[in-house]
Amino acid sequence: MMRLPKFEYISPTTIDEVCALLDEYGPKGMILAGGTDLLAAAKLRNILPVYIISLKRIKELRGITYQEEEGLKIGAMTPLYQVRQDQKVRTHYQALAMAVAVVGSPQIQRMGTLGGNICLNTRCYFYNQSSSWRKHRPVCFKMGGEICHVIPKGKKCYAVFSADTPPALMALDAEVKLVSKKGERVVTIKDFYTGDGKQPTALNQGEILAEIRLPPITKQVSIYLKHRIRKAIDFPLVGVAVKILLDEREGTCTEAKIILNAVGPAPIAVSEAETLLKDSLLSQEMIIQSAKMAVRAASPVANIDSTPGDRREIAGLLTKGALEILAKG
């Protein structure tokens, strides 16, 4: 049985306290949200925290509110299950509700938080192993070394991004509020991800994710589809989030967003297909062309238990299926 390493557990009650602790401890201090990812990584010795700073007691990081002018705001510590059950999310931000519903299992959804899922670490077959397994290979980029076991001549880490909610949030044009001792800043969810498997998010040292913001309700429709080996628990082999906004008079698509998941170190926008669909009818021909563009946009490597070719093909099939569902209303 794998045990947690020794660390000091700290449970502040305000955001200011958290920021002060992060400023004091630097890289030795790690944030604990629901713990479904961090504690598993600690057991594998992927990380060795000296101080774990829990956000559990900070009430201002929880809850869902909606205002017509500002849109939907979700506290980073809001449990995934609560996001899944919120009526406005289910009715008007469907892709997010669907993405939350396929994270792990019901137990994980009750423990895990939306902020934690957004900050989920990237994964790789050569990284997510025990320390005794890893010691027989040279240290990789993600562990602080200078080699990628998946692409030996690569210059960066290619660990795969596998969180379910960020692609849906990207399709829905979400923003995140980041807070530190220096103040706060708001960035788009797209800019929050770096594309580097070693350091997947743009969180600066001392910053925490405090809030997720989505635009006011429109007549958009959206969907998130996920392919995985088992129907529960597993991370996606491929996922796709799609949003479309239709002109009711003309029947044309005035805006489209297609975001692929688990085929690279960050969510990937299929920009070519988004441009193709703009101001066009969602005909079967356009849907098939968009699916082919999704295949070309996907860039998976052999870092999880599925071949890159299979994942590219699945990306096209999921994109086609998502667009067909939305085209039928």
Return d(Cα 193, Cα 118) in angstroms, integer.
Answer: 10
Is the pLDDT at 248 greater than 90? The verdict is no
The reported pLDDT for the residue numbered 305 is: 83
pLDDT in tens, 95-146: 999 999 999 999 999 999 999 999 999 999 999 999 999 999 999 999 999 9
Q: Which residues contact 275 (CB under 8 A, 6 or more apart)?
A: none
Q: Which of 65, 50, 58, 49 is nearest to 16 (CA)?
A: 58
Between CA 295 and CA 48 the distance in angstroms is: 38
Q: Which helix (H) or strand (E) holds 184?
A: strand 183-188
Q: Print the SS3 string covering 262-304.
A: CCCCCCEECHHHHHHHCCEECCHHHHHHHHHHHHHHCCCCCCC
Cα separation, 304 vs 99, in Å, equals: 21
At residue 187, the pLDDT reads 98
Domain encompassing residue 192 = 60-119+160-214
Assign residue 249 the CATH number of its domain. 3.30.390.50
User: Are 248 and 279 found together in one domain?
Assistant: yes
167, amino acid identity: P
Q: What would the mean pLDDT of 169-177 be, rounded to a whole number?
A: 98
- Alpha-carbon distance of 44 to 206, in angstroms, equals 25
- For residues 188 and 309, membership in a common domain is answered with no
Average pLDDT along the chain: 95
- In a shared domain, residues 176 and 305: no
pLDDT of 309 reads: 95
Residue 79 belongs to a domain: yes
Q: Is the pLDDT of residue 247 over 90?
A: no
Residue 232 in any domain: the answer is: yes
210 and 64 share one domain: yes
pTM: 0.95
**Are 1 and 110 within one domain?**
no
Phi, psi angles (nearest 5°) of residue 326: -70, -35
Kindly state the average pLDDT of the residues 78-93: 97
Residue-wise pLDDT for 297-328, tens only, equals 999 999 998 899 999 999 999 999 999 999 98
The answer as to whether 146 is a domain residue is no
Domain count, the chain: 3
Question: pLDDT tens digit string along 9-60?
Answer: 999 999 999 999 999 999 999 999 999 999 999 999 999 999 999 999 999 9
**Percent of the chain residues past pLDDT 90, beyond the cut:** 92
* Structure tokens given for 88: 């406005």
Helix (H, G, I), strand (E, B) or coil at 226: strand
Banded model confidence at residue 71, pLDDT cuts 50, 70, 90:
very high
Length of the chain: 329
Residue type, 150: V
The answer to whether residue 91 is domain-embedded is yes
Asked whether residue 239 falls in the same domain as residue 227, the answer is: yes
- For 178-224, what is each residue's pLDDT tens digit? 999 999 999 999 999 999 999 999 999 999 999 999 999 999 999 99
Strand 183-188 and strand 221-227: pairing? Answer: unpaired
Buried b (16+ CB within 10 A) or exposed e, 307-325: eeeebbebbbbbbbbbbee
Question: Are 323 and 225 contained in the same domain?
Answer: yes
pLDDT band at 1 (very low <50, low <70, confident <90, very high): low
Q: 70: which residues sit within 8 A by CB, 6+ positions away?
A: 213, 216
Residue 185 resides in a domain: yes
